[in-house]
Every structure is written in structure tokens, then in C-alpha cells.
Amino acid sequence: MIARFLLCLSLCVLGVNTLQARAEVISPAQQLQPTQAKKIVEEFAQSIEQNYVFTDIAKKIAAQLRGLTFQGVQSRHGLSKQITDLVSQYDKHLALVTRVDNNGKHSNGAREPWFTELKRKNSGVRQVEVLAGNIGYLEMWGFDTVSQQANEAIAASMTLLQRTDALILDFSQNGGGDGFMVSHLASYFLKKPTLLHTYLFRNGSRYPFRSGQPMGASQFRDMPLYILIGPDTFSAGEAFAYAMKHLGRATLIGEPSKGGANPINQFKLSHDFIAFVAIGTSVSPITGENWEGKGVIPEIKAEVEIAKSKAHLLALQDLADKSSNPYLMKERVEKIRQLATQLDVFNHENSSNNKSR
């Protein structure tokens, strides 16, 4: 579990120290009395104080949680969201989570567990495509745990893409997952086992994450690689992009990512609540830093909605004189013209919209 990155819940700012029930009616199955809410939050504060990677920040968060007061009936999901909004200002991996109602039954308002959803949805592989000009495209919205199913999904995708001349990895919607899958996927693109990053834990211990022996077709090791990122790229998705950027193995295109670099563990609390607490931090062997709080910064900035087209255009331009096949060359020239026109139109419309505001 400590090797996993998990998706954080949504953010907003909580500006008061008193949590009150909302005006709408709370169903009995979702109700928490003030004493119950106080107990849950106290246990959450303890789990952070005892386990969060940075002890000084842990004390500050715990003190703020203990300063909260509760008036009236709380809803389970309301408490979860309000507390998560508060603590995620310190660390985007911190969260208070509930997935059941007061009877221990699945709650309709709860999000499906991240790894359960990943396994159900093709281990995070959403789309595999060969674009015009023989450019490969792989979209992954998450990193599943390393398993036969996940490995087969990745291997099948890479087999379909192995004869392309460049590859776009779309992580713009990638919410994270398992750090070991980051190492597994990186093994397709690096020529030898390579240190990607190291986890540093509160007690001073460390765990290095390296890519494995090279996998898949040998051409993947030298193939031009482009990675799309944006505000929804989080955790393990950021870890892969950050490592490949600073190893000089890929060009990042898009917008800065969400900014969560700290691995977490889960702790059970009263009333079927779960605490997500960051127990370590990531350190790059190249920068000596990570992307926590600031996100991974792309070399080429582009709005997420046009990042794929931008990467496709750049890949074609980089390959413009690297083929002797006249039919392929013609296909690339035509697609370059088409993409350049589309991007010009988008930029013009975007500029006009900004001026009119």
C-alpha cells in the first residue's frame, strides 16, 4: 500500500472553524451526531499526527482539526468533503473518506474505490490508436496495480504501437495509481534499469523505484516520446511524467499538473471512515526535489483540449525528413498542414474570446 499513489478528492477552501449541517434534509442513513463527527475528526487528527511524513506540518494540521466544533447533525459525505477540503490545502493526498451509510451498506453518494474502478475499466488503458503519419497514441487514465491483467493490457497496447515512428502518451486525465506500474511502464522506454525516484519516509527509511529490464520492442527505447499532462494529472501520472522529463526521455506538452508527490497509507477510523495519510515523499535523483504543491511543468504549454493536436503536429514535424517512403511523406505533409490550420483557428478564437471578456 505504501507504494501506491491514490486519487485525492476535490478541493475547495473551508474558511470557518464550525461545521454545520446544510439546510437540506439529511437521510437517517447519512446522519452523524456532533459527538460522532468530533470522534471521527479526532481520530483523523491522531492518524495524521502519528503518521504524516512531515512532523511539524502534522502537528499544525492536527491542531486545526481539533479546533473545529460541530453544531447540528452532519451528513457522512458532507463531513468527508469538508474535512478533505481543509486538509488537502496542506497535502493533496490527505483525505477523509466514507463509502458506506450508517448501516454499513454501500452509499450511493460514494465514489468507487480507485483500484476497483481501474480493474473494472481495462486497468487504466482507455484508447490505443495509430494517428496519421504513423504516430502512436496511448491514453491512460490511471495506473493499476501490477498484475497479469494489467501487464497484459499494457503489453497488448505496446504491441499495437511498436511499428509507429513516435508515441504520444496521454496522461491529461490520469489520476494516479500504483507506483510499481510507473516502474513497469518506464521499462518499455529506457535502455537499462534506471532510478526514477526514491520514497523517503518519516522514520528516515527510503525505498528506490527503478525501471526494470527493457521490455517490448527495442525501437521503443529510441522512439520520440511525448507526454500530455494537465490539471487532472495526479500522483503516479505525475511521477511518470516528471521522471521521463528529467531523464531527458520525453517532451511534456500541456498544462501544469495537480501537484501530489507523497505516497499514502490508509487507516480505519470509527463509523466506517478511512483516513488517507501521506506517509512519505518522493525525491528525484536528478533534481533532488519533486512536484508536490506545484505540479509537473510541461516544456511546451498548450491548453489540454488542443495538447493532443499540438503533440501530433510536433511529432510529424520532427519526423519530416526521416522517411524515404513518398506516400508516408505526403501523408505527413498533408496532416501537418491540416493540424497547423486547426491550431491557428483555435488560437485565434481563444485570443478573441479573451479580448472580449
Q: Using CA atoms, how far apart are residues 61 and 64, in angstroms rounded to an integer?
A: 5
pLDDT for residue 283: 97
CA-CA distance, 278 to 167, in Å (whole number)? Answer: 33
What is the predicted pLDDT for the residue at 13?
30
The pLDDT score that the predictor gives to residue 33 is 94
Record the pTM: 0.89
Per-residue tens of pLDDT for the chain, all 357 residues: 444 333 332 323 333 455 554 445 888 889 999 999 999 999 999 999 999 999 999 999 999 999 999 988 999 999 999 999 999 999 999 999 999 888 888 888 888 999 999 999 999 999 999 999 999 999 999 999 999 999 999 999 999 999 999 999 999 999 999 999 999 999 999 999 999 999 999 999 999 999 999 999 999 999 999 999 999 999 999 999 999 999 999 999 999 999 999 999 999 999 999 999 999 999 999 999 999 999 999 999 999 999 999 999 999 999 988 889 999 999 999 999 999 999 999 888 876 666 665
Sole residue written with cell 527495442 = 218
